[in-house]
Amino acid sequence: MPLLAVFIGWPWLALIPAGVFFVLYLRSRRLLPAATALLWGLYAVYEYSMQRRWLCTGECNIRVDLLLLYPLLVMTSVAALVVAWRTIARDSRPG
């Protein structure tokens, strides 16, 4: 997932989706967007720690961990978007 690879060079950018999902949580009051915001925030800290070589003392060029993290982030994000969107759409209907 080359699009997500941008977070390797600039880990702080992962705080943007964390903020978006936090706002979705505030609007929908559903747990999944909150958990997804937390997940993105933790990923930002993790990726920053990898960049600073705090978690990786050797060669960090082969990132097998991303084979698990990227699909987890994508699936959780899509599910949270659907849940939040449906809740916000339902609550904004007149009547």
Give the mean pLDDT of the chain: 92
Alpha carbon of 72 to those of 15, 58, 76: distances in Å?
A: 16, 25, 6
3-class secondary-structure state, position 57: coil
pLDDT of 42 strictly over 70: yes
- Residue 95's pLDDT is 64
CA quadruple 65, 51, 77, 87: dihedral positive or negative?
Answer: positive
- Residue 53's pLDDT is 87
Position 44: which residue type?
A: A
Instruction: Give the alpha-carbon dihedral of 32, 48, 65, 6, to 10 degrees.
Output: 80
Whole-number percent of the chain with pLDDT over 70: 98
- Residue 60's pLDDT is 76
pLDDT of 65 strictly over 70: yes
Helix (H) or strand (E) holding 25: helix 15-28
pTM: 0.91
